[in-house]
Amino acid sequence: MERIVFLDRDAIRVSVRRPEFEHEWKEYPYTPPEKVVERLAEASVAITNRVFLREGELAQLPSLKFIAVAATGVDCVDLDACRRRGISVSNVRNWSISVPEHIFALILALRRNLFAYHEAVRSGEWHQSKNYTLLKEPMPRALRGHTLGIIGYGMLGQAVGRMAEAFGMNLLISEHKGADVIREGRIPFDETIRLSDIIVVLCPLTEETRGLIGQEELRAMPRHALLINCARGGIVDDTALAEAMESGEIAGAGVDVLNQEPPRDGNPLLDPGLKNVIVTPHVAWASVEALETLAEQLIENIEAFVRGRPQNLVT
């Protein structure tokens, strides 16, 4: 009988059906690092959204055969250790309709200077205007005719591209940084950085993409540009981004991810004096509809593995 342990059930706040085979099911709202081995001691299947499973824990779990990641990103799992130990790992794919919408919510809020105008009304500044309106700096910018560059052109990147075209934007798709061969329809990474009015980061966090955008890349962006990161913390250097914002090297930033989550030790992007930056708490993926799709695919992945026809494997 399969023993299934869901390490962080509270991350998936919709109903999750049970697999259609004989099994034991145990779930925990959240699992701290020191409890991982104890809770997975006899498990054959582990489910994790963001609880980390590293070499140290995996070495103590001889019964574990399968890790079902309840997300697309798998940076919380040591894949090399899983390969060495014969543990299969799956993820869920093409499930979050919410990420592209969240990206454009950030873009529009920053481009239209919505927070400054909202505060101007709440503070009574509009009441004192000599005219019917109130214009603040920086002046809002339209999207039509401007260029959006996408770094990470998977399903989410493609969905963002379709939305950009619906707004009448020009689209640039970045090739991998430092690539010798430029694929058809893509342009070099450095050109994407230099030519885009808005950069959207959607690539996975890997050893190759860690620190992908730092001080050098931010300085190469147009001064009126926005940077949007709804991928993973660590791809963008938070300190360099805060410094670029403070010095005016770029005009604004919207981030849904930080290097440390939650930011218990603080983060320079959370400085209340930093202007035209929006930080959301890693929720771009979240909507009832998206989570229902994720929950169903998660269980389908487990059922497929037990039937001997695994799907969505990453190792």
Phi-psi region of 234 (alpha: psi -120 to 50; beta: other; left: phi over 0): left
Active-site residue, from 102, 111, 176, 232: 232
Please enumerate in sequence order all residues whose Cβ is within 8 A of that of 198, keeping only pairs 6 or more positions apart, or say none. Answer: 107, 146, 147, 148, 149, 225, 226, 227, 228
Active-site residue, from 42, 165, 261, 289: 261
Q: Which of 89, 88, 62 is nearest to 75 (CA)?
A: 89
Q: Which of 52, 92, 37 is nearest to 68 (CA)?
A: 92
Sheet strands side by side (includes 66-69): 23-27, 2-6, 45-48, 66-69, 88-90
| Placement of tokens 């582990």 in the chain | 46
Query: From CA 242, how far away is CA 115, in angstroms rounded?
Result: 19
Query: From CA 240, how far away is CA 226, in angstroms rounded?
Result: 14
Any catalytic annotation for residue 261? yes
Active-site residue, from 191, 282, 300, 303: 282
Sheet strands side by side (includes 226-229): 170-173, 147-151, 198-201, 226-229, 252-255, 277-279
Any catalytic annotation for residue 112? no
Any catalytic annotation for residue 232? yes
Question: Which residues have a catalytic role annotated?
Answer: 232, 261, 282
